Amino acid sequence: MNGGVDLHREFQLRWFAGDAPTVYDLDTPYLESRLSHHIRHISHKNQPESSRIMSTVEAEPQTSTDLKIVEDATCTFCGCVCDDMVLTVEGNRITKAKNACILGKAWFFNHHIEDRPDATIEGQPASYEDAIERAAQILVNAQYPVTYGLSDTTSEAQRVAVAISDWIGGNVDTTTSVCHGPSGMAFQGVGEVTCTLGEIKNRADYLIFWGGNPAESHPRHFTKYSLMPKGEFVPNGRKDRTAVLIDVRRTKSAKAADIFLQIKPRSDFELAWALRGLAKGIDPDPSVEEKTGISVEQLKQVMDGMKAAKFGAILFGMGVTMTRGKHLNSEAVLALARDMNRHTRWVAKPMRGHGNVTGADNVVSWSTGYPFGVNLCRGYPRFNPGEFTTSDLLARKEADAALIIASDPMSNFSQPARDHLASINSVVLDPKLSDTAKVATVAFTTSTYGINTGGTVYRMDDVPIPLRPAFESPYRSDYEILKAILKRIREIQLQAGS
């Protein structure tokens, strides 16, 4: 018993220390007036319910002369999930994307229908039915199957994936385990003083961006949600706000900040703790400057501004979560926001990367009670990062089958994890022929969420956003494929009497 506890703890400690074998290397002009009668103007209200919920399976390919406008479409490229896109669609291509940033434009313009079979088995084209059968057999017969990915698909599909993991007694994990997993643990440890991006837009007069570079990773965050927009209680927009950037490098985001604190690497925890002390009226030891690179005077200046703010927000990125201290850094930042509420209103939110990684956290949490790295082998959920996180589990050669959804671990996991993933049976769902799809036993070509597939995604502030697809794909959605696999798994289990 004690040995089990020790092992459990060791997994955690190695994961926290970052030495587990995970290696995370890691306008166009809008048509000013109504287009002529041959343009189909599509608003989501006019779409049939079926196309808003899920894509049509075997759609007639549109001809290249078709032209339509899709208003209020959603970009799912990053966690901002901007839902004010105006897309011009010509046939099977998006040719204009009003309101999209440079990353969003690349996301929309580079999307095209792949010329690949619906499904392959061991690299050979296969019928959809055969592929479903083989996938179900692989998963239901595995001793220790792992489900991974889920951050770039709809919450409807995420929900089915968790159900599959539950029925087959496997492990379910998301890409959160290699990005904001430590924050997910910190929420459970100290809680989260939170808000929506709308509140930040309308109220925040003091912003701290910590360990991130939103100017390049989330290009519209500054302009749409946080720094620039005019809001109800900040009517002058940027002029009413003070912005602080804390980072180890002077990135492009530094130009947008009023105060830039260039901290020494691996000193986020010490800096947050010094600010917590100041929030409570305790002067930090002068050695904090040598440790963090930031003087006590600079810290006092920032703390004075924080206390004087009417509404402050700390927005933290992977520079906080994936450096020494990991979840302890996130806990320190969340606790700082909590402490500041003795003086004025403060919140702290993680900056999330993938389009629906927040949805993955939500779905896995509401289904199992834990946000990622959940083991269901015993019929009840167990949570232990380092033990049940996929890269670790693969590197230790424990999993004997994998269900990978909208993710490409073969391109970013450690070599031992990749080697093992390539050696076991795997079922991969991806719109592209990713490195992971290339080694899959069964690979399904899927439609792309947000562009071809409707459903729901969660913005980084946990607000669910509906998707309004631009055009139909001949390929099925993740949701449809996972539902078919689940149905077949249950048939097999019921026939076997389990």
User: Which residues make up the interface to ligand SF4 (CB under 6 A)?
Assistant: 75, 77-78, 80-82, 100-101, 103-104, 218-220
Q: Which is nearer to ligand SF4, 87 or 347 (CB)?
A: 87
Nearer CB in complex with ligand SF4: 224/488: 224
Residues 6+ apart with CB under 8 A from 50: 56
Nearer to ligand SF4, 87 or 417 (CB): 87
| Closest C-alpha to 169, from 135, 144, 138 | 144
Token digits of residue 421: 């993933």
Q: Compute the least distance from the CB of residue 228 to ligand SF4, in Å.
A: 13
Q: How far is the CB of 99 from ligand SF4 (least distance, A)?
A: 7
Residue 332 has φ and ψ, to the nearest 5°, of -65, -40
Q: How far is the CB of 462 from ligand SF4 (least distance, A)?
A: 16
Q: CA–CA separation, 127 vs 404, rounded Å?
A: 20
CB of 85 to ligand SF4, least distance (A): 7
Ordered strands of the 171-172 beta sheet: 124-126, 119-121, 442-445, 425-430, 401-405, 145-149, 171-172, 374-375, 382-383
CB 477 within 8 Å of CB 446: yes
User: Residue 184: what residue type?
Assistant: G
Spatial distance between the Cα atoms of 386 and 376, rounded to a whole number of angstroms: 16
Tokens 């690497």 locate to: 265
Name the residue nearer to ligand SF4 (CB basis): 225 or 370: 225
| Least distance from ligand SF4 to the Cβ atom of residue 215, Å | 11
Find the shortest distance in angstroms from Cβ 182 to ligand SF4.
23
Minimum distance from residue 23 beta carbon to ligand SF4 (Å): 27
238 closest CA partner among 258, 252, 253, 219: 258
- Closest residue to bound ligand SF4 by CB: 104
Residue 315: CB minimum distance to ligand SF4, A: 14
| CB nearer ligand SF4, residue 74 or residue 436 | 74
Q: Which is nearer to ligand SF4, 216 or 491 (CB)?
A: 216
- Judged by CB, which is closer to ligand SF4: 78, or 164? 78
92 neighbors 107 (Cβ within 8 angstroms): no
Question: Considering the complex, what minimum distance in angstroms separates the CB of residue 87 from ligand SF4?
Answer: 11
133: its two tokens: 């059968």
Distance, in Å, from the CA atom of 127 to the CA atom of 130, rounded to the nearest integer, reads 5
Give whichever of 83 and 166 is closer to ligand SF4, judged by the CB atom: 83
Nearer to ligand SF4, 105 or 134 (CB): 105
Nearer to ligand SF4, 182 or 219 (CB): 219
Q: How far is the CB of 278 from ligand SF4 (least distance, A)?
A: 33
Nearer to ligand SF4, 101 or 393 (CB): 101
Listed in sequence order, the residues at least 6 apart from 490 whose beta carbon sits closer than 8 Å to its beta carbon are: 167
Across the strands, what pairs with 442?
Answer: 121, 427
The nearest distance, CB 353 to ligand SF4, in angstroms, is: 10
Buried b or exposed e, range 311-344, using 16+ CB within 10 angstroms: bbbbbbbbbbbbbebbbbbbbbbbbbbbbbeeee
Tokens 């949570």 locate to 383
For CA atoms 265, 266, 272, 275, give the dihedral sign. Answer: negative
Rounded to the nearest whole angstrom, what is the least distance from the CB of residue 244 to ligand SF4 in the complex?
A: 21
**Between 349 and 488, CB nearer to ligand SF4:** 349
